[in-house]
Amino acid sequence: MDWEPLIAAATAARAKAYAPYSRFAVGAAVLMEDGSIHAGANVENCIPSLAVCAERNALAAAVSTGLRRPQALAVVTEMSPPARPCGLCRQTLAEFAQDLPILVTNPGGEREETSLAELLPYPFSLTGPFSAKG
């Protein structure tokens, strides 16, 4: 997997993050089934629950063009070790891909490759074995 185009797109998106409260800028880029890359940055709000994460913004950008099958996701933060997607992002991604390759990285070059299945082994589902219906 060539992560470099995704890292570049996520890094560029991170530079546009709106994070005046946390000062925690995040950029994400998702590779879709047609080979296109869609990026997003986190957008905060003075009401924390109204903030939208970079990962969900990137996925929403792709979905808004009609794409539905993410192939890989890169996330760039300043943290060491690099931050992983939050629970809301994990569940949102699980709606579209059960085992998505994920790379988390930072400007210092630290990298960790993981997967959505590793980060969220039992996603909520309305029809699956771990759903509310059982």
Indicate the SS3 state at residue 96.
coil
| Cβ atoms of 65 and 33 closer than 8 Å | no
Q: Where is 4: in which H helix or E strand?
A: helix 4-14
Does 44 qualify as catalytic in the annotation? no
- Catalytic member of 4, 33, 55, 78: 55
Q: How far is CA 54 from CA 45, 86, 87, 120, 126, in A?
A: 14, 10, 13, 18, 25
H or E element at residue 104:
strand 101-105
- Contact, 72 vs 31, CB < 8 A? yes
Q: Looking at this protein, which amino acid is placed at residue 127? A: T
Which residues are known to be catalytic? 55
